[in-house]
Amino acid sequence: MTFLSVNLNKIAVLRNSRGGNEPNLATAAITCLEAGCDGLTVHPRPDLRHIRPADVRLLAALLRGRGEYNIEGNPFAPARGEYPGLLELARETRPTQVTLVPDSDGQITSDHGFDLTKDCDMLAPLVAQFRELGCRVSLFVDAGGEGFADAARIGVQRVEIYTGPYAEAFAAGTAKQTLELCAETARRAQQAGLAVNAGHDLSLDNVGTFKAAIPGLAEVSIGHALITESLYSGMANVVRRYLQILH
């Protein structure tokens, strides 16, 4: 079974665009949990463009005992204003998993992973600190990446394959090569002792094909497509349709 973690960033984007508290993040979270999703994902950024630190704390309290909590972010981004830094947020909220992502303020969304052949020594002390908090540590990586044994050596437990190129190729009807690259990457990560997650632009159209190609796929994190599909079909219904595919 592959877990579904629903990314709620886009709910916060809509709320922040208008001010106030609608759409309500807690209501969206409860809707997803009651529909059966396995957990929730948020990606707080220092510029507070969507999920804010107060949201991270709110969802931690709401999720306790009800599902897994995955907090994504750049562990090297310093504290700024209301944003206390990823490590401090994890210390406060103790998520099930932290997914470390090499993003920056200038990126509209995450668009590349770590280079494990170069970045593991730099990541090692941070991975140790997150592990000390009881968090499972996952690293965002590109399909075709190397260095999985190095990641396992520093205490990383999972990698999340960046699936944006796969989704783009799927939409163009040319996904075969990209999907094979994702599958080979997953095999090499698993051989190194790492579990495999995936995320970015996965949708109801393409997630089933991806899951079928990746034996042992542990988790997918889906936000933008799921929220878009929910505008047309209703959030609870869309969550259940994903679960039919993944479970």
Domain encompassing residue 19:
3-246
Return the pLDDT at 103: 83
pLDDT tens for 209-241 read 999 999 999 999 999 999 999 999 999 999 999
Active-site choice (50, 160, 200, 229): 200
Q: Residue 246's pLDDT is what?
A: 98
Amino acid 107: pLDDT = 60
pLDDT (mean) for 53-61: 98
Taking only the tens place, the pLDDT of each residue in 124-176 is 999 999 999 999 999 999 999 999 999 999 999 999 999 999 999 999 999 99
> Which one-letter DSSP state was computed for residue 200?
S
Total domains, the chain: 1
Q: What are phi and psi of 196, to 5 degrees?
A: -120, 125
Q: Is 229 a catalytic residue?
A: no
What's this model's pTM, rounded to 2 decimal places?
0.95
88-116 pLDDT, tens digit per residue, is 999 999 999 999 999 876 666 666 889 99
Phi, psi (degrees; rounded to nearest 5) at 122: -70, -35
Which candidate in 43, 160, 219, 229 is catalytic?
43
112 in active site = no
* Burial zone of 243 (CB within 10 Å; 0-12 exposed, 13-18 middle, 19+ buried): middle
What is the predicted pLDDT for the residue at 112? 80
Q: Which residues of 69-88 are buried (b: 16+ CB within 10 A; e: fewer)?
A: bbbbbbbebeeeeebbbbbe
* Strand-pair partners of 159: 139, 196
Positive or negative: CA dihedral 69, 126, 122, 149: negative
Q: Over the range 41-58, which residues count as b (16 or more CB within 10 Å of their CB) and which as e?
A: bbbbbbebebbbbebbee
Instruction: Please report how the helices 53-63 and 86-93 are oriented relative to each other, as an axis angle in degrees rounded to 10.
Output: 30
Catalytic residue among 22, 34, 68, 72: 72
Residue 14, number of CB atoms within 10 A of its CB: 14
Please give the full DSSP string across 9-59, using - where no structure is assigned: HHHHHHHHHH-TT-S-HHHHHHHHHHTT-SEEEE---TT-SS--HHHHHHH
Report pLDDT digits (tens) over 16-29.
999 999 999 999 99
Mean pLDDT score of the chain = 96
Q: What is the pLDDT of residues 185-212, one digit of tens each?
A: 999 999 999 999 999 999 999 999 999 9
- CATH for 86: 3.20.20.70
Query: pLDDT value at position 125?
Result: 98
